[in-house]
């Protein structure tokens, strides 16, 4: 059910009509004062309003047209996208037809082009990949809006997809750029058009990180006394706020150095543990920042400490960190290839730039 039609030789978009003008069009159609033709096949059509209030056109006689049926939600989503792009003053058109592809909503400003695809029904991955190939070829930034989780498309095949769901409470549509983020659809589109969000295939760690430090006790392997130790339990964060790469470690050069300095400055939370310093590990054949036994200064190996930390957290559900430590990754921007994601611009910029 298209939003676009040709009325008396002029191409128009249904949702551009106000309520009064739309009623006048309906009356003019009934009295046969206007001719409404669909660009998709040249067939005659009539105006109609969906249950969700979206003005659109319907084939009077469909004939051989291959236009696929669209749900009321599909129509409403096209309306929201179209109006949002128009609001941001982009040249916008629905059911835009290029040489070998048709976009639900297409917009452009200067050399920048966007295609928005609403995909509420199942679609084969091969079809999605082929259509994406054409968009890439023509320099179009595609956005695929999928009902449910699009991870299969997004992560495996670099199709710029995003999960879309309707909130029945407020009847608004929300997208989920990641498991942690939920954004109203029109706000997401505005961020995209203003350059605040881009689809990226690689991630870059944020230079400024923060970690939670926990304190617990372990048995020293050398003197067998119970000694207090500390360990971080936080994931590294990307520039755009995605938590990745598992758990941080005290052996990480930038973190270990900062924690050691805090202890030397007399931070009380670190006063009753062994010295945090670099120790040589016979197992690892290298020196790294580590805990030491409070009594004999034996290195508390990182490998075993990770397991002890998880055991502590699992058996102490109410455990709280003793410190939140901020530190910087000095000249260590880690880039991970093949991690497609929607990247929100931060004060450090986008990932992979």
Kindly report the number of other CB atoms within 10 A of residue 188's CB atom: 26
More confident residue, 314 or 331: 314
DSSP string across 152-169: HHHHHH---EEEEEEETT
Instruction: Report the pLDDT value the prediction gives residue 157, as an integer from 0 to 100.
Output: 75
Taking the C-alpha atoms of 132, 134, 138 and 143 in order, what is their torsion angle to the nearest 10 degrees? -20
CA separation for the pair 80, 76 (Å, rounded) = 6
Q: What is the mean pLDDT of the chain?
A: 91
Q: Is the pLDDT of residue 155 over 80?
A: no
Instruction: Report the pLDDT value the prediction gives residue 63, as an integer from 0 to 100.
Output: 66
Q: Sign (positive/negative) of CA torsion 46, 47, 48, 52?
A: positive
- Check: CB of residue 92 under 8 Å from CB of residue 82: yes
Q: Is the pLDDT of residue 136 over 90?
A: yes
- Check: CB of residue 115 under 8 Å from CB of residue 142: yes
Instruction: Report the pLDDT value the prediction gives residue 59, as an integer from 0 to 100.
Output: 85
Q: What percent of the chain has pLDDT over 90?
A: 67
Instruction: Report the pLDDT value the prediction gives residue 152, as an integer from 0 to 100.
Output: 65
Q: Considering the domain 68-197 in this protein, what is its CATH number?
A: 3.40.1350
Instruction: Report the pLDDT value the prediction gives residue 333, as an integer from 0 to 100.
Output: 58
pTM over the 0.85 mark: no
CA separation for the pair 208, 203 (Å, rounded) = 15
Instruction: Report the pLDDT value the prediction gives residue 327, as an integer from 0 to 100.
Output: 95
Q: Is the pLDDT of residue 82 over 80?
A: yes
Instruction: Report the pLDDT value the prediction gives residue 127, as an integer from 0 to 100.
Output: 85
Lowest mean pLDDT among 65-74, 165-174, 240-249, 332-341: 332-341
Residue given tokens 């609001």 in the structure block: 87
pLDDT tier, 121 (very low <50, low <70, confident <90, very high otherwise): confident
pLDDT tier, 62 (very low <50, low <70, confident <90, very high otherwise): low
Q: Which runs of E-coded beta strand occur in 120-159?
A: 141-147
Q: Is the pLDDT of residue 245 over 70?
A: no
Q: Is the pLDDT of residue 211 over 70?
A: yes
Taking the C-alpha atoms of 71, 76, 78 and 84 in order, what is their torsion angle to the nearest 10 degrees? -170
Instruction: Report the pLDDT value the prediction gives residue 183, as an integer from 0 to 100.
Output: 94
| Model pLDDT for residues 90-116, shown as the tens digit of each residue | 999 999 999 899 999 999 999 999 999
- Check: CB of residue 67 under 8 Å from CB of residue 40: yes
Q: What percent of the chain has pLDDT over 70?
A: 95
User: Residue ranges per domain, the chain?
Assistant: 1-67, 68-197, 208-328
| Model pLDDT for residues 276-301, shown as the tens digit of each residue | 999 999 988 999 999 999 999 999 99
More confident residue, 35 or 76: 76
């Amino acid at each position: 059910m298209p939003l676009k039609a040709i009325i008396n030789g002029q191409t128009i978009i249904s949702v551009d009509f106000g309520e009064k003008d739309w009623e006048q069009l309906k009356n003019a159609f009934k009295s046969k004062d206007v001719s409404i033709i669909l660009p998709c096949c040249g067939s005659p059509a009539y105006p109609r309003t969906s249950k969700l209030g979206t003005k659109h056109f319907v084939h009077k006689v469909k004939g051989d047209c291959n236009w696929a049926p669209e749900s009321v939600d599909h129509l409403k989503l096209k309306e929201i996208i179209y109006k949002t792009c128009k609001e941001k003053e982009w040249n916008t058109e629905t059911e835009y037809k290029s040489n070998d592809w048709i976009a639900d909503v297409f917009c452009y400003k200067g050399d920048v082009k966007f295609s928005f695809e609403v995909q509420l029904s199942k679609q084969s991955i091969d079809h999605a990949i082929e259509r994406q190939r054409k968009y890439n070829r023509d320099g179009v930034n595609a956005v695929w809006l999928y009902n449910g989780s699009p991870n299969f498309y997004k992560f495996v095949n670099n199709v710029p997809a995003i999960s879309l769901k309707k909130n029945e409470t407020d009847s608004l549509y929300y997208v989920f750029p990641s498991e942690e983020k939920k954004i109203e659809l029109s706000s997401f589109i505005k961020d995209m058009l203003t350059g605040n969000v881009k689809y990226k295939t690689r991630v870059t760690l944020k230079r400024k990180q923060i970690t939670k430090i926990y304190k617990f006790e372990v048995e020293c392997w050398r003197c067998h006394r119970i000694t207090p130790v500390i360990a971080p339990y936080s994931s590294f964060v990307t520039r755009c706020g995605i938590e990745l790469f598992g758990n941080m470690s005290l052996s990480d050069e930038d973190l270990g150095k900062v924690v050691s300095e805090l202890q030397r400055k007399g931070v009380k939370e670190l006063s009753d543990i062994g010295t945090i310093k670099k120790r040589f590990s016979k197992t690892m054949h290298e020196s790294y920042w580590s805990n030491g036994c409070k009594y004999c200064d034996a290195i508390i190996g990182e490998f075993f400490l990770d397991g002890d930390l998880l055991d502590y957290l699992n058996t102490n559900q109410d455990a709280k960190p003793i410190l939140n430590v901020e530190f910087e990754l000095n000249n260590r921007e880690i880039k991970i290839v093949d991690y497609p994601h929607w990247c929100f611009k931060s004060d450090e910029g986008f990932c992979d730039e």
